[in-house]
Amino acid sequence: MSTNTRISDILTGWYSRRAGRYIALAIFVALTWAVAAHALPSGLPFGIVLLGILLGSLNALTAIGLVLVYRAARIVNFAQADIGGLAAAVAVILVAGERLPYFAALPLGLATALATGFLIDATVIRRFFRAPRLILTVATIGVAQILGAGEVGLPSLFTHLAPLSTFTTPFSLQFTVGPVVFNGNAVVAFVVVPLVMIGLWWFLTRTHSGIAIRAAADSEERAVLLGIPARKLSRAVWMVAAGLSGVGAMLSAPILGPNLGAVAGPTALLAPLAAAVIAGMESMPIAGLAAIGLGVFQQAVLWSYPQSSTVDVALFGFILLAVVLRKRSMGRSTRDQLFSNLFADRSRAVPRVLRKLPEVRLAAVAGLVAVAAVVALVPIGMSAPHLTLLTSLVIYAIVAISLTVLAGWAGQISLGQFAFVGIGAAVTGALLVHAHADLFVALLAATGA
């Protein structure tokens, strides 16, 4: 058998397997749609599915950016959505405030996203390139706060803008699919998103930089041995990921309505992050498909149960099920890789001999007495506003200690830690107001809850 014949057979088998997967996926989607159309109280019209595909495809850009950064740096970039939010805010200001044409403002918004990715890599990622991944992950949360401040502060430079200004595409076409009315904003998104996906595929598979990024993501050590500049590629990764989020946010702005002066925040990151987790933070195509599936799921639930709380609970259940199934299919080596290099080395304990020295014991007792004196005496001479501020600081310190216990002792990161604070506050307030319970009894009940 000749070499050309063997290559032809290999390619034929690969394409047939790929075609079989797509056919199986199409059959699964059709069956799911049929079941949902009969099971949901309001059915599942095609227009709702199309709207879910539209919004899901925009979230897919952010999800792919999350996966791209994770594969390159092994961190979850919690600033991913806010990068796009800042780019969208700039685009809205240029159109609504400076009266720039739509097609002139969008490239400038995209340039803002690319510049943001460049600056994040230059100022944050470079500094913590070899730091434990937990530290770098927390650093992205700080970056998200800074970008959120920019999203809120930029509109204040233009006092003539309404607090919730937005912009729209120059296309006036409009059509109805089922109960949903689509306009030019949706058409632009339907056209641009596939083009961006094709461009990303071309960049990662047909350019030297893209192939090098994939090689460094698979094995940084091996890539370095082959002469690939992994650190230099980090900047390209962050700029590409930032550009994806910027495009998604700018296309979402006219579809979702007024958003100037609002922070993207965790809410905008929830669905893309869920899609990235479903994809194991590894596969960009699966992350994109998962984001589209989540978008359809959200719109289907919202169509029959038009309450945001119902959608949130249903989305939580869907994500939990997907993560459990994904965990079962994940090998131990993959899990070890996810958590490798996550934490810093533990600090050494004070030697026992040193702890028994009289001067060390005396210093410890004196320190405790000094802290007790400060706690007992300082609040007496403080005004009510300062006392309230001090109380808030102590409460946040308790929350910080709980996070330290989880991260340092259990090796886990809790992003919903403040939800426990909310549960305790709700139980305490309910017992004090409605049951007129003693404060300490309410605190015990809140702790148990």
209: closest CA among 235, 189, 188, 243? 235
The confidence score (pLDDT) of residue 11 equals 45
The confidence score (pLDDT) of residue 270 equals 86
- End-to-end Cα spacing for the chain: 71
The confidence score (pLDDT) of residue 339 equals 47
| Crossing angle between the packed helical segments 230-256 and 102-120, to the nearest 10 degrees | 140
Tell me the per-residue pLDDT of 353-385, one tens digit each, with 9 for 90 and over.
887 788 888 888 898 999 888 888 888 878 888
109: closest CA among 170, 69, 154? 154
Dump strand ranges (E) for 86-231. Answer: 174-177, 180-183
The confidence score (pLDDT) of residue 340 equals 47
Those residues of the chain that have pLDDT short of 70 are 1-22, 25, 28, 159-160, 162-164, 217-231, 258-261, 326-348, 411
The confidence score (pLDDT) of residue 35 equals 77
243: closest CA among 148, 71, 111? 111
Question: What length is written for the chain?
Answer: 449
318: closest CA among 286, 290, 280? 290
Q: What tokens does 346 get?
A: 């533990």
> Would you say 163 and 371 are in contact if contact means Cβ atoms under 8 Å apart?
no
259: closest CA among 403, 50, 71, 90? 90
